[in-house]
Amino acid sequence: MKYALLTVLILVEISSVYSQLRYWNDEFVPWIPKYANRTYMKCPNKSCTPDPLKHQWTREDCCVCRAKPLWEVPVDTTVRLQLEYTRRNGMAVVFSEEQNKSQYYSLYHSQGYLSQIPINICDFPNIVRIDLQSNQLTEVGNLSCLSMLDTLDLSYNKIHFIGNDTFLSLTNLRELRVTHNGLKALAPATITASSLQIFKADFSYNDMDSIEFSNMISESDFCNITFASNNISKIVNTNNFEIDPNKNYRGGIVDLVGNSFTTFIDFEKLGITDIAILGKVLSYGFVMPDVKWTCDCHMEPYLELAEDVIKRIWRDYFNISCWNPPEYRGKTIPDIVKEGRLDIFICNLTEVDKCPQNCTCFTQPKERRTVVDCSDVGLTELPPYVPQGNNLTLIFKNNNITHFGNRSYLKDATVLDMSGNKVASFSPEAIEMLPDDIALNFADNNFKKVPRAFQTLNPCKSKFGDVTIDCNCDTEWIKHWADNRGLKQCSNMSSYVCETDHGLIPVDEISTDDICKQENFMITSIISIILSLLSTLIVIIFGVVYLFRYEVYLLQRKYFLRNPASKVGCFLKYDAFVSFNDENDELRMWVLNVLVRHLEASGYRLFVPCRDLPPGSIKEEEILEQIINSRKYLIILCDYYQQNDITWTQIEWKYIWCHFRQCMERNIIVINFDHLGTSEQPDQKLRAFVRLGYDIDFSNRKHDLIFTVKLRLELHLKVYFSMETKRLNSWDTI
């Protein structure tokens, strides 16, 4: 057995060596990559000539992986640069003993303590290969001057981050290796920018926990990009990269072996909102054979809609198997698809997702539904909330629910199972919430009345079981519902029996006379008409009252809300606050020279804002204070009293009306200076004064405007005391 095994190993080694010799002995011919103007490339002729009957790959695919630059064929012809340290901190320079600038240079230096790229590297722009493995480099550095650089190996260094501008100028870079560096992040589009065509990139054995989607997708061909043996658990898209449907993405192999993936890739978060766009990356191969997949709802949509696509994307597709949940561990994806069991791919929901306590909730993409199963959990009412979803399957059977109440989530339900409860009553709003095509089950409950709102539902999808109904005129609709919707065709769903004066009668056999006598119907109809008329009349009355609410208030205040005369007015500072538009010159002259002069001559204390406001005071606060200190309010209406640009009269009127409403002993006297009609007054409150005739017309035909104002203001105390003194004197004379 030992010798047999040794023989096999020797044969395998010989076969490998033979394959390499065949490759190197192959004739290399000039080849120019389709997406890069590299005229110095050579491709093996025989090994990269596919047999159409055997191979699916093209010559271009093969050359991308096997082509060599002319300085490597047939042997390495580059001139090696020498490196010399200039500082103990790892700084160095390079030099060459040959000064032929037409030469291709290469730099090899490993197991050293180089801390940065040699400072004079740009003196040799023809460098085509740099190998600086096992040094102390912490960053790639500036290599933009090396436009001919073909191969770069920085493995076994200490580079932890690479920015997306690091390689932008290296348009001829073909091979890149940055392994064993502790690399934590690779910026978006670092190796797939449109200016680059890197055939081989190796970032294996680093510490990345995520990888940018844009670093895996390129418009150009590549052989392989390796992210093996990192800690990658997710593919991210921080730069919002999107696959352009108008472009072709050639691609190659992306190696993700030895990472920490568990959840299926969410293509939608990666910018692939349309499953058809996956066809743009059909040439790619994502190698992930050792992933412990969680077979849940995230995986199902792509298995269902893109099965053929996934078979091509995952080259090891037939090795993909479930790890979680445990009951499906070891089952392969092809077996699950073949058995038609995509319904097992679900995601459980928790209380964080609004799943009711003690209930089981999950999303099931295959059935396009979210299931909420609260069977046998002791519910006494419908849960106040459930997880959000467009197609809810609600299972509330075998509980103690007595009332079917309204819940906002009912409008999204496609299945509702309320069987085995104690439902005796229904909320009409809850029934109206239910979609017309809902599958309903109310079997084995306690109700004896079926709400009329159920008539919009399909009786063949509404299961009520054996129901005995107290039939009367109000339940006559059930017979028509059964006849019109074909209840007999689905009699196994429900059996309705009417309890009448003649005994129990099946609803499809009952007549109108059995449940509703004609005279009762007439009385009911008359009562309904009367109630409808009364309702209409009430609506009209309320509408009129609302329209004329200020007029109603003024009448109510005048006749019903009058308080006994208050003595508060005796202690207020002013008898009246005069509000008018003082920008109207004619009006201002009349108010100050006529109205105010006569009233103050009669002993009335008046506050006129344009005359009495203290200079430097805060105008609005002063106005409010004097309105509070005034017993009455004298409003002089003119064309511009309530115009939008006259702000102070608006402020005055606002506070006046407020205190008028609060204090019953206060009153408003309106003088209609410009003879404004009802329709000409924009303010509804002032319009009410004019409409009721409570305003004083300036063109008073009796020519007693001032006297009328005094009457509205009521007699002043000084006048009152004068009259009382005269009366007492007359008694003394007698």
Mean pLDDT, all residues of the chain: 81
Q: Which of 292, 329, 331, 337 is nearest to 311 (CA)?
A: 337
647-662 vs 619-628: helix axis angle to the nearest 10? 30
Instruction: Report, as an integer, the average pLDDT of 334-363.
Output: 87
Q: In terms of pLDDT, which residue wins out, 553 or 89? A: 89
| One domain, residues 605 and 492 | no
Residues near 391 by beta carbon (within 8 Å), at least 6 away in sequence: 367, 368, 369, 370, 412, 414
**636's tokens:** 């002089």
Q: Which of 497, 487, 432 is nearest to 462 (CA)?
A: 487
DSSP state of 593: I
Look at residue 115 and tell me if it is in a domain: no
Q: Which domain holds residue 658?
A: 556-721
Q: Is 540 exposed, middle or buried (0-12, 13-18, 19+ CB in 10 A)?
A: exposed
Give the residue from 456, 490, 517 where a domain finishes. Answer: 517
684-691 vs 549-559: helix axis angle to the nearest 10? 60
Coil, helix or strand at residue 7 = helix
Rounded to whole angstroms, how far apart are CA atoms 256 and 290? Answer: 9
Rounded to whole angstroms, how far apart are CA atoms 138 and 159? Answer: 4
What CATH number does the domain containing 415 carry? Answer: 3.80.10.10
Q: Which of 677, 680, 605, 596 is nearest to 643 (CA)?
A: 680
Q: Flag whether pLDDT at 717 surpasses 80.
A: no
Look at residue 429 and tell me if it is in a domain: yes
Coil, helix or strand at residue 102 = coil
What CATH number does the domain containing 215 carry? Answer: 3.80.10
What CATH number does the domain containing 642 carry? Answer: 3.40.50.10140
Give the residue from 494, 517, 540 where a domain finishes. Answer: 517
| One domain, residues 374 and 228 | no
The pLDDT > 90 percentage for the chain reads 33
The count of domains in the chain is: 4
Look at residue 86 and tell me if it is in a domain: no
SS3 content of the chain, % helix, strand, coil (to 5): 35, 20, 45
Give pLDDT tens digits for 467-524. Answer: 777 777 777 777 776 666 555 666 667 777 887 767 777 777 777 666 665 545 566 6
Phi, psi angle pair for 615, to nearest 5°: -60, 140
Look at residue 400 and tell me if it is in a domain: yes
Look at residue 706 and tell me if it is in a domain: yes
Q: Flag whether pLDDT at 14 surpasses 50.
A: no
Look at residue 308 and tell me if it is in a domain: yes
Are residues 126 and 147 in contact, defined by beta-carbon separation less than 8 angstroms? no
Give pLDDT tens digits for 195-228. Answer: 899 999 999 999 999 999 999 888 888 999 999 9
| One domain, residues 243 and 369 | no
Look at residue 275 and tell me if it is in a domain: yes
Please tell me whether the overall predicted TM-score, pTM, comes out greater than 0.85 for this model. no
Question: Do you know the residue count of the chain?
Answer: 734
Q: What is the DSSP string of 302-351?
A: HHHH-HHHHHHH-TTGGG-BEEESGGGTT-BHHHHHHTT-GGG--EEE-G
**568's tokens:** 């508060």
Q: Flag whether pLDDT at 12 surpasses 50.
A: no
CA angle, 352 as apex, 350 and 357 as ends, to 5°?
Answer: 55
Rounded to whole angstroms, how far apart are CA atoms 646 and 651? Answer: 9
Rounded to whole angstroms, how far apart are CA atoms 70 and 42? Answer: 6
Give the residue from 493, 517, 541 where a domain finishes. Answer: 517
| One domain, residues 572 and 592 | yes
CA-to-CA dists, residue 248 to 34, 237, 440, 641, angstroms: 13, 20, 50, 73
Q: Binning pLDDT at 50, 70 and 90, where does residue 422 land?
A: very high
**698's tokens:** 């300036």
| One domain, residues 472 and 587 | no
When mean pLDDT is compared across 108-117, 171-180, 420-429, 539-548, the lowest value belongs to 539-548
Q: Flag whether pLDDT at 52 surpasses 90.
A: no
Q: What are the residues facing 697 on neighbouring strands?
A: 672
